[in-house]
Homo-oligomer: A and B are copies of this chain.
Amino acid sequence: MSDPYDQLVTRLKRAHTLGTVADLLGWDEQVNLPPDSADVRAEQLAVLAETQHAAATDPEIGRLLDEFGRDGSPSRPTEATVSALGSTRSTPDRAVVLRHARRDYDRATKLPAEFVREKAAHSSHAYHAWADAKACNDFAGYAPFLEKHLALARREAELLGWGDRPYDFAIDKHDPGLTAAQITALFAELKRALIPLVRAIRDSRVRADTALFKAFPVESQLVFLREVTERIGFNYRRGRIDVSLHPFCSGTGADIRMTTRFDADNPLDSLFSSIHETGHGLYEQGLPRAHLGTALGQAVGMAVHESQSRLWENQVARGRAFWRFFEPRLRALFPTQLAAVSSEELYLAVNAVEPTLIRVDADEVHYNLHILLRFELEQRLFSGALAVRDLPAAWNALCTESLGQTPANDREGVLQDVHWSGGAFGYFPSYCLGNMMAAQLWAAVRRALPELETDFARGDFSRLLGWLRENIHAHGRRYDTLELVRRVTGEELSPKHLLAYLQERYGGLYLG
């Protein structure tokens, strides 16, 4: 009889593998799926969700978990398990895996298969309903799908014993250990200092001129972004980049699928979205491959994930050192298009600050305001203070208040984001938490490696990647979000590094 721990891991990996198949189908749905084939994809995903659920609730997993105590040592050691383990005291690695496996198993077994199937099928239907609604600016057609997603989210929280705090549960699913109250406090602190900075930059006479850019052939844009993303460390032998309506990154380090989209008149759009997705991809590629399928081979949560994408996109790729290396290469690819653009104009365009109604188009300074708005609305939806039918009006009112702009229609308002169509409530806060964390990690790595930016100016990003691999990626889910931040940076998570970074970079450019 093989080691019960190994038997357990084999089963965990099996369930994980079925999850990676569902991820691939999700990627294919957004990259390749023929327009009328959504029905078959919904059915495939529903069957897969059921199948994965069955694998994750395999009673054998429960039996094997029962052989181990809370600290990972066999609770009821039998002769076989003792001799197989060599000792009744398991390694810390095992304790991590067992802790998460126990939690995941307990959660999975509380969800009826029918619920899992229904949620998966609904997510696929709701995605297409959202895409149609967005195309036709028809919120009313999408509202019933959103209402059902909210009902499913509440029901899931109830089934898992979070019935009194369904929104905290939604957050916990993305960032284990975090609560709405903690996030509210962090966001309030951020907002207090951010609003004056936003106002000051709006009043500045300095303006980036993105209308400088015209007619950048997509093929050459692709060449440039491949070069950039490869140089910062993405392994294209275990990943690829394609085109989709909304850029995203899916898969595991064994096979990463990133997407981007191209705007022929703005090469920076595709470039920065690709660097962002590459940050996610580097995290996944840095997780210990041998542990794929267990907690040691998994990302901590979405906030840490976003910290990785944001750090590469913003702290690194919007910095002067990065452009010292890449500007000549961009000019070599687009000599005529950039002939009349000075280096300073280019750098200002890279760091353009301009209010927009669209989150994914927002600059770093405004971005977090978009998140605060969504966090506020999610809380109201879950508390029952806001009905789905009143969501567009509430969105527009908050938008006017915080961004000083009002959507002319729901396409540039409440229908702009894909997340809710997949039932992904509690996800948005991760973006802002990730921004805070990225700035805090950036401060820490600059203390640890003060010469880092001279590397960048030479096109060498390996020391930064090495530091992230060692301090973040290598741990998998060993630590929860806040604990990881504490360990790596020596401080509690706080918005102060983000504020200092924004003040330094954008204050320098716009308020100089």
Which A positions have Cβ atoms within 8 angstroms of B?
A: 14, 17-18, 20-21, 24-25, 28, 32-37, 39-41, 43-44, 47-48, 51, 55, 235-240, 242, 252, 254-256
Q: Smallest CB-CB separation from A256: which chain B residue?
A: B34
For this complex, 30 residue pairs linking A to B, each with C-beta atoms less than 8 Å apart, are: A17-B43, A17-B44, A17-B47, A18-B47, A20-B40, A20-B44, A21-B21, A21-B25, A21-B47, A21-B48, A24-B25, A24-B44, A28-B28, A32-B240, A32-B242, A33-B255, A34-B236, A34-B238, A34-B240, A34-B256, A35-B237, A36-B238, A37-B237, A37-B238, A37-B239, A37-B254, A37-B255, A39-B254, A40-B252, A40-B254
CA distance A37 to B236 in the complex (A): 10
Q: Smallest CB-CB separation from A255: which chain B residue?
A: B37
Checking B14, B18, B25, B34 against A237 with a beta-carbon cut-off of 8 angstroms, the contacting residue is B34
Given the known inter-chain contacts A32-B240, A240-B34, please indicate yes or no for A255 contacting B21, CB distance below 8 A: no
- Scoring A18, A40, A236 by chain B CB atoms within 10 A of each residue's CB, the highest score goes to A40
B14 touches A47 (CB 8 A): yes
Q: How far is the CB of A22 from chain B (nearest CB, A)?
A: 9
Q: Smallest CB-CB separation from A242: which chain B residue?
A: B32
Interface of A is mostly: helix
Q: How far is the CB of A296 from chain B (nearest CB, A)?
A: 17
Chain B residues, CB < 8 A from A55: 51
CA distance A255 to B25 in the complex (A): 13
Q: How far is the CB of A385 from chain B (nearest CB, A)?
A: 41
Q: Smallest CB-CB separation from A239: which chain B residue?
A: B34
Q: How far is the CB of A411 from chain B (nearest CB, A)?
A: 24
A237 touches B47 (CB 8 A): no
Chain B residues, CB < 8 A from A41: 255
CA distance A40 to B36 in the complex (A): 29
Checking B34, B47, B242, B256 against A255 with a beta-carbon cut-off of 8 angstroms, the contacting residue is B34
Q: Smallest CB-CB separation from A47: which chain B residue?
A: B17
CA distance A20 to B39 in the complex (A): 13
Q: Smallest CB-CB separation from A37: which chain B residue?
A: B255
Chain B residues, CB < 8 A from A28: 24, 28
Q: How far is the CB of A413 from chain B (nearest CB, A)?
A: 30
CA distance A194 to B123 in the complex (A): 57
Q: How far is the CB of A301 from chain B (nearest CB, A)?
A: 23
CA distance A57 to B6 in the complex (A): 27
CA distance A164 to B36 in the complex (A): 47
Chain B residues, CB < 8 A from A18: 47-48, 51
Q: How far is the CB of A256 from chain B (nearest CB, A)?
A: 8
- For the complex of A and B, 10 pairs with smallest distance between CB atoms: A37-B255, A40-B254, A36-B237, A17-B47, A35-B237, A36-B238, A40-B255, A34-B238, A21-B44, A34-B240
Q: Smallest CB-CB separation from A39: which chain B residue?
A: B254
CA distance A449 to B44 in the complex (A): 40
Checking B32, B40, B51, B235 against A51 with a beta-carbon cut-off of 8 angstroms, the contacting residue is B51
- Scoring A14, A34, A36 by chain B CB atoms within 10 A of each residue's CB, the highest score goes to A34
Chain B residues, CB < 8 A from A47: 14, 17-18, 21
Chain B residues, CB < 8 A from A256: 34
Chain B residues, CB < 8 A from A238: 34, 36-37
CA distance A41 to B17 in the complex (A): 10
CA distance A273 to B441 in the complex (A): 54
Known contacts A18-B47, A18-B51, A41-B255; 7 additional CB pairs below 8 A are A17-B47, A21-B25, A28-B28, A32-B240, A34-B236, A36-B235, A51-B51
Chain B residues, CB < 8 A from A34: 236-240, 255-256
Q: How far is the CB of A360 from chain B (nearest CB, A)?
A: 25
Chain B residues, CB < 8 A from A33: 255
Chain B residues, CB < 8 A from A239: 34, 37
Q: Smallest CB-CB separation from A13: which chain B residue?
A: B43
Q: How far is the CB of A346 from chain B (nearest CB, A)?
A: 31
Q: How far is the CB of A38 from chain B (nearest CB, A)?
A: 9
CA distance A20 to B44 in the complex (A): 8
Q: How far is the CB of A95 from chain B (nearest CB, A)?
A: 26
Chain B residues, CB < 8 A from A240: 32, 34
Q: How far is the CB of A36 from chain B (nearest CB, A)?
A: 4
Q: How far is the CB of A419 from chain B (nearest CB, A)?
A: 25
Q: How far is the CB of A443 from chain B (nearest CB, A)?
A: 34
Chain B residues, CB < 8 A from A32: 240, 242
CA distance A41 to B20 in the complex (A): 10
CA distance A35 to B14 in the complex (A): 23
Chain B residues, CB < 8 A from A21: 21, 25, 44, 47-48
